[in-house]
């Protein structure tokens, strides 16, 4: 039995090393069973509690602990897996119970050194366990700052948009406020900035699916509703001013759709449950009225503009609404429903996947 334990420990060590490489080193999305289990369990638990809180502000504060808790759980799980693995490998070589082997293994992995067996093989395993613990800590030191660096970079444009157009963000409001400020000429540069932002977010959030769950300090601001607002602004601008150069707006929409798909991909069963633009014609006409009052030029008949906008928005709104629902993004106009809050319908199933 002890030799079976040794074999199981060797396999567990190999599996944990691979999981650490996938989690902390490999520069692409790589599925890890341990990370997926801990991430999914944490997500379900936090989501279940958040949807029962009486207000969105309370839910947002609570969900602010989701991403850090999942990260700590995954790193702790990987470290604990090493402790168990080396304990199993010690059993055939030392006269120890499993509890004693765990004590010696933990002493070595955490480089405390208060327990050791003087024979050659156990000493070798203790040294390997200590080296493993040190290397794991070194990788973790590089992993955590990179995550928070990506969060900070993601929020810069979100903060800029909030300063320009208010919070929560809304596509028609983006165009209205820039029109009032006489700054419509800045729209192409703004679209290009968000185009690059989408590419960066798609790359990092597909590799590290915990990143979408990091939240801003302000409950009314959220990266996903800001992206949706910019995509709506680009779609409206493209349709309502056909005489203007719409290349930047069109490229932002293409990049935005790809970004939404990449962010949703790690949650393997997130798929749009509805089709269509997500708003009705009355919503669209009210937005046009607000934009007209701000002086935004509208060069298309309302009927024609609505048909084109509805068709264009149907390409990205369903997936954006679904992501906003599961992430419980900040409520904003034209951003869909949220679970567990007054007047919002609940969905029957949770997304099934999460790997980091």
Rounded to the nearest integer, the mean pLDDT of the chain is 85
Which segment, 11-25, 190-204, 210-224, is predicted with the most confidence on average? 190-204
Residue of 325 and 270 predicted with greater confidence: 325
> pLDDT tens for residues 28-63?
666 678 888 888 888 889 988 988 888 888 888 999
Q: What is the pLDDT of residue 29?
A: 65
Give dist(CA 174, CA 232) in Å, integer. Answer: 9
pLDDT over threshold 60, residue 321: yes
Residue 332: other Cβ atoms inside 10 A = 22
Q: Are 85 and 9 in contact (CB under 8 A)?
A: yes
Of 38-47, 180-189, 211-220, 247-256, the poorest mean pLDDT is in 211-220
pLDDT at 270 over 90: no
* pLDDT for the residue numbered 189: 94
How large is the average pLDDT for residues 139-157?
Answer: 87
Q: State the pLDDT at residue 227.
A: 96
In this predicted structure, the answer to whether residue 273 has a pLDDT above a threshold of 60 is no
Please give the Cα distance from 204 to 151 (Å, whole number).
10
Check pLDDT > 60 for residue 213.
Answer: yes
More confident residue, 288 or 94: 288
Region of residue 97 (phi > 0: left; psi between -120 and 50: alpha; otherwise: beta): beta
For residues 105 and 14, give the distance between their C-alpha atoms in angstroms, rounded to a whole number. 16
Question: What average pLDDT does the segment 253-276 reach?
Answer: 78
Instruction: For residue 340, give the nearest of 46, 62, 50 by alpha carbon.
Output: 50
- Cβ-defined contacts of 248-253 (< 8 Å, 24+): 248/187, 248/188, 248/189, 248/191, 248/192, 248/195, 249/187, 249/188, 249/191, 251/191, 251/192, 251/195, 252/191, 252/192, 252/194, 252/195, 252/198, 253/312, 253/315, 253/316
pLDDT over 80 (residue 2): no
Q: Which residues contact 102 (CB under 8 A, 6 or more apart)?
A: 83, 84, 87
Q: How many residues does the chain have?
A: 356
Is a pLDDT exceeding 60 seen at residue 202? yes
At 351 the pLDDT is: 44
> Does residue 113 register a pLDDT over 50?
yes
């Amino acid at each position: 039995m002890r030799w079976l334990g040794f074999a199981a420990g060797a396999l567990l060590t190999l599996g944990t090393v691979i999981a650490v490489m996938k989690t902390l080193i490999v520069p692409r999305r790589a599925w890890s069973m341990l990370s997926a289990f801990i991430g999914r369990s944490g997500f379900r638990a936090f989501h279940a509690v958040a949807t029962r809180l009486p207000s969105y502000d309370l839910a947002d504060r609570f969900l602010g602990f989701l991403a850090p808790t999942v990260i700590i759980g995954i790193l702790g799980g990987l470290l604990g897996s090493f402790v168990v693995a080396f304990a199993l490998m010690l059993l055939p070589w030392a006269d120890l119970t499993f509890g004693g082997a765990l004590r010696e293994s933990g002493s070595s992995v955490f480089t405390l050194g208060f327990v050791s067996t003087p024979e050659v093989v156990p000493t070798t395993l203790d040294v390997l366990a200590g080296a493993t613990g040190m290397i794991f800590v070194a990788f973790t030191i590089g992993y955590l700052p990179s995550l928070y660096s990506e969060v900070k970079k993601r929020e810069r444009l979100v903060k800029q948009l909030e300063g320009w157009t208010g919070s929560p963000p809304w596509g028609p409001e983006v165009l209205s406020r820039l029109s009032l400020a006489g700054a419509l000429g800045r729209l192409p540069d703004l679209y290009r900035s968000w185009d690059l932002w989408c590419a960066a977010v798609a790359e990092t959030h597909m590799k590290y699916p915990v990143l979408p769950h990091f939240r801003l300090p302000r409950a009314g601001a959220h990266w996903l509703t800001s992206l949706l607002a910019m995509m709506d602004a680009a779609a409206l601008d493209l349709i309502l001013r056909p005489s203007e150069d719409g290349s930047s707006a069109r490229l932002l929409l293409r990049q935005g759709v790809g970004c939404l798909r990449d962010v949703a991909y790690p949650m393997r069963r997130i798929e749009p449950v509805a089709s269509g633009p997500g708003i009705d014609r009355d919503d669209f006409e009210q937005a046009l009225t607000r934009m007209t009052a701000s002086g935004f030029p509208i060069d298309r008949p309302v009927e024609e503009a609505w048909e084109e906008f509805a068709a264009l928005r149907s390409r990205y709104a369903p997936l954006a609404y679904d992501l906003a629902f599961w992430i419980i993004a900040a409520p904003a106009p034209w951003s869909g429903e949220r679970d567990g809050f007054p007047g919002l319908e609940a969905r029957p199933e949770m997304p099934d996947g999460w790997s980091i």
